[in-house]
Amino acid sequence: MRLMQEQEDGNFRERDRAENPVNNAYLYGRRHNLAQTVLVSIYLAQALSLSVPSSFASGSVESLAQANQPWNRDPGREDSNSSSTLPSSAASSSSPSSPSSNPVTGTGDSASGAANTTVSPVADENAVKEVIEKARFQSNAGNLVEARQLLKQAIRTNPKDVQLLLEYYPICVKSNDWSDAVQTLEKIFALDPAKEKDLYAGYGEALYKLRRLDKAQLAFNKALDFGKDKELIHRTLIEIAKQQKNDLMAESEYAEYLKLKPNDGDMHFEYANTLFKLKKTKDALAHYKLASQLKPADAYVQEKLAFMLLSEKDYAGSIAAYRKAIQADPKNSARLAAALKYAREQQKAAAGQPAQPVK
């Protein structure tokens, strides 16, 4: 019975040593001597990546022995000393900081060994300015590819540098790389939302160039709230409406644009055409007249006005408009003269008089 109990106690101690290596060293010291315990503890501490006191590292067994005496130990800490707790991963993985690298070029040594958290380098202001100056020089010289490469390399190293992104965006526009322009603006807006006020119209334009019409329309409507580039926005929204064959949207955008540019004869003429398609004849005629006044030498505008006036039985006005069209486009005088003759005949018929030959 006693032999079985001793055997069971021995098995328990073996399991305890296997499960608790630090406690194993303590038990080992109880059975052997303190010096051996010190050496085993140092070995285990190094194996478990635990910090080793300088007295251990220097092999000061005497100091350890003195500290290990019952009267020098803190009773409240004895239990914690007898069973070790592994340090947190954050503490065990800490390593000395690597030498600083060039924030723009990305060159420089990096620490090897344990993995560490990647942090975007802080851009050196002078280095960034130097890259921007070089890129501007290349861009002004027409070397857009070189300018983009300079900035792309710098942005790759400093992805959160808004100044670099702001320099890169207009070069994308000059290069007609609208996809890259959209991505660059989205990065800028994410880093500095205040830039939306100045750049959101350009964002809408880039989306329009990519034929993302629905997104472009949303972007332009948001840009209008900022109160900038309204003329450009409304002109582009007109083009979107045309491509979507949305005459009602076009009507609205023409009206808004002409509030800003009331002397734009071409837009008055286009607006009149849209109104005519919507069967708003009187409104269309009003804008044909405005277009005629603003573009007196445009034969097509004058001919269109003459036709509208003829349909409204304004024969005198129609005849006058056909005469202006003939003066503006002598090459088509024969066709226009025939239209003028028809207008005069209609005028005579309305007045109950026989038609006279065209002079």
Q: Give yes or no for residue 318 having a pLDDT over 70.
A: yes
User: Do the Cβ atoms of 346 and 316 come closer than 8 Å?
Assistant: no
Tens digit of pLDDT for each residue in 171-193? 999 999 999 999 999 999 999 99
Better-predicted residue by pLDDT, 167 or 69: 167
Closest among 335, 314, 262 to 293, alpha carbons compared: 262
What average pLDDT does this structure show over 321-339? 88
Domains of the chain, each with CATH number or no CATH: 2-85 (no CATH), 262-359 (1.25.40.10)
Tokens representing 43 are: 């070995």
Distance CA 144, CA 142 (A): 6
Radius of gyration of the chain (CA): 43
Q: What is the pLDDT of residue 332?
A: 84
What average pLDDT does this structure show over 5-33? 51
What average pLDDT does this structure show over 7-33? 51
Q: Give yes or no for residue 148 having a pLDDT over 60.
A: yes
Coil vs helix vs strand at 190: helix
Coil vs helix vs strand at 142: coil
Task: Specify the residue for token string 């109950």.
Answer: 352
Helix (H) or strand (E) holding 144: helix 144-157
User: Do the Cβ atoms of 110 and 118 come closer than 8 Å?
Assistant: no
Lowest-pLDDT range, 244-248, 274-278, 287-291, 339-343?
Answer: 339-343
Q: Give yes or no for residue 202 having a pLDDT over 90.
A: yes
User: Do the Cβ atoms of 221 and 209 come closer than 8 Å?
Assistant: no
Q: Give me the DSSP letters along 66-132.
A: HHTSGGGS-GGGHHHHHS--PPPHHHHT--PPPPP--TTT--S----SS-----PPPPPHHHHHHHH
Mean pLDDT of the chain: 77
Better-predicted residue by pLDDT, 146 or 330: 146
Confidence of residue 335 (pLDDT cuts 50, 70, 90): confident
Task: Could you list the beta-strand ranges (E) of the chain.
Answer: none
Q: How many residues can be counted in the chain?
A: 359
Q: What is the pLDDT of residue 11?
A: 56
Confidence of residue 136 (pLDDT cuts 50, 70, 90): very high
Q: Give yes or no for residue 317 having a pLDDT over 80.
A: yes
Q: Give yes or no for residue 294 having a pLDDT over 90.
A: yes
Tokens representing 359 are: 């002079």
User: Can you say how many angstroms the Cα of residue 330 is from the centroid of all Cα atoms in its chain?
Assistant: 54
Confidence of residue 46 (pLDDT cuts 50, 70, 90): low
Better-predicted residue by pLDDT, 126 or 31: 126
- The total of other beta-carbon atoms located within 10 Å of residue 285's CB is 20
Q: Give yes or no for residue 229 having a pLDDT over 50.
A: yes
Q: What is the pLDDT of residue 42?
A: 55
Lowest-pLDDT range, 25-34, 153-162, 171-180, 209-218?
Answer: 25-34
Confidence of residue 347 (pLDDT cuts 50, 70, 90): confident
User: Do the Cβ atoms of 288 and 301 come closer than 8 Å?
Assistant: yes
Distance CA 115, CA 175 (A): 40
Q: What is the pLDDT of residue 20?
A: 53
Q: What is the pLDDT of residue 301?
A: 96
